[in-house]
Copies of this chain bind each other. A is one copy, B any other.
Amino acid sequence: MNNITISQRAKNTPASAIRKLVPLAEKAKEKGIKVYHLNIGQPDLPTPQEVLDYIHNFTQKTLQYAPSAGIKEAVLSWQKFYADKGMSFEQKDIVVTAGGSEALLFAFMTVCDPGDEILIFEPFYTSYSILTAMGNISFRPILTTNQNGYHLPDAKTIEKAITKKTKAIIICNPNNPTGTLYTEEEVQTITSVVKKYNLFLISDETYQEIVFDGKKVIPFAKDQEIAQNLIICDSVSKRFNSCGARVGCVVSQNQEFMSAVLRLGQGRLSVATVEQLAFIALLQNHKNYTDSIKKVYQSRRDVVVEGLKKIPGATFKVPEGAFYIMPKLPIDDSDRFAEFLLNDFSDNKETVMIAPATGFYSTPGLGKDEIRIAYVLDEESLKRSIELLGLAIRKYNRV
């Protein structure tokens, strides 16, 4: 009799590049070293008081299942949220999900059969690979480069990557992990390819309120010609500093798609009732809050950029959104460097934890001289963190 073993798809599921360094950080802390966490997109800012107030004053006596599509008032609050951005959706176009992750999982499973492909721009958010691995779906990566600020290639280059198996393009704007905000021209390039090949377009809009320098996101939803192609995956996590709430949504005007998503939603019954309700007020009226955090992040970005300029050999374009930057550094192996920071380096009993960029590429060998920095700490800590990074690079290259 054979040994009992797990499925090939489970074996092929990658570990999170960010989370696998956690034990090393714990060890550093045990040694009395202070670790500045720039490694994960977990903002430090407080969750809006009205969300916490709702939780504190939750009046129901039985925590009941919510409807699988989401509590009606919660769905309507997302509808209002999009309407305020000039995006018009009906109630039936929206299903509330357990965070953006579940929105993405439902989108991937509904769009692709095993063996199908999704076009993606490298570097990209690691969780995408885990969610698609569950469904035996492949990514076909199209490279973007540090040198070019991780902006997109032209339509021809994108079209070359399309095969008979291609079902969708996924794009995150502004981008995690690069912080890149795509131009109107880039949005049109994507839209034109989507139309020409009639692909689904999975738009991860998690960071859309966090855009700097007076710039604006160009929404894909503006173009009604791709209404049947567009799938929005969204989340309260980043724009409302509520990563632990696990509330998001998936949105599309394609009713064949939405009705399948609803069936998948029935399989997991419902999303947590308290949190769905807690964001209703904020989703309908968030501008004061999101405008205020946008300012905070822009100012933090500037601190990080100033710090990085002082590191010899660091190259980057100034990112215009989200709260990430992905500099190229004079290092030979970002994984080894990330470990070095936690195992072998400290200055005044302090070090910094970053995300090696290798985890954001699916093409082996890429990202060895890049890291992702999440600027989710106060300015003073950020200043010190980037200083530590500079010191560490010098020491790393002497070892």
Check: A44 CB closer than 8 A to any chain B CB.
yes
Complex: how many Å from CA A66 to CA B51? 18
A residues 93-132 in Cβ contact with B at 8 Å: 98-99, 101-102, 105, 109-114, 116, 127, 130-131
Instruction: Give min CB distance, A138 to chain B, whole Å.
Output: 14
Of the listed stretches A174-182, A270-278, A319-327, name the one at the interface; the rest are far from the partner chain. A270-278
Contact yes or no, B135 A11, CB < 8 A: no
Contact yes or no, A13 B264, CB < 8 A: yes
A residues 251-276 in Cβ contact with B at 8 Å: 254, 256-257, 260, 263-264, 266-275
The interface bits of chain A over 39-74 (1 if a CB of B lies within 8 angstroms of the residue's CB, else 0) are: 010111111000110011110011111111000000
**A273 partner, pick from B61, B200, B244, beta carbons under 8 A:** B244
**Please, which residues of chain B bring their CB within 8 A of the CB of A58?**
52, 55-56
**Please, which residues of chain B bring their CB within 8 A of the CB of A88?**
none
Of the listed stretches A2-10, A295-303, A335-343, name the one at the interface; the rest are far from the partner chain. A2-10
**Please, which residues of chain B bring their CB within 8 A of the CB of A263?**
10, 13-16, 130
Contact yes or no, B19 A47, CB < 8 A: no
Contact yes or no, B244 A16, CB < 8 A: no
Contact yes or no, B200 A4, CB < 8 A: yes
**A274 partner, pick from B11, B135, B275, beta carbons under 8 A:** B275
**Please, which residues of chain B bring their CB within 8 A of the CB of A199?**
4
Check: A284 CB closer than 8 A to any chain B CB.
no
Check: A77 CB closer than 8 A to any chain B CB.
no
**A101 partner, pick from B22, B99, B245, B269, beta carbons under 8 A:** B269
In which size bucket is the chain A interface?
Answer: 35 or more
Complex: how many Å from CA A116 to CA B10? 13
**Please, which residues of chain B bring their CB within 8 A of the CB of A1?**
197-198
Check: A228 CB closer than 8 A to any chain B CB.
yes
Contact yes or no, A270 B256, CB < 8 A: no
Contact yes or no, A246 B229, CB < 8 A: no
Contact yes or no, A113 B5, CB < 8 A: no
Complex: how many Å from CA A257 to CA B245? 27
Contact yes or no, B40 A62, CB < 8 A: no
Q: What are 18 sample pairs from A and B whose C-beta atoms fall under 8 A apart?
A: A4-B200, A4-B229, A7-B109, A7-B116, A10-B110, A11-B260, A13-B260, A13-B267, A15-B263, A15-B266, A19-B266, A47-B62, A55-B56, A62-B242, A65-B244, A127-B266, A245-B273, A272-B275
Residues of A within 8 A of B (CB): 1-11, 13-16, 19, 22, 40, 42-47, 51-52, 55-58, 61-68, 98-99, 101-102, 105, 109-114, 116, 127, 130-131, 133-136, 167, 197-200, 228-229, 241-246, 254, 256-257, 260, 263-264, 266-275
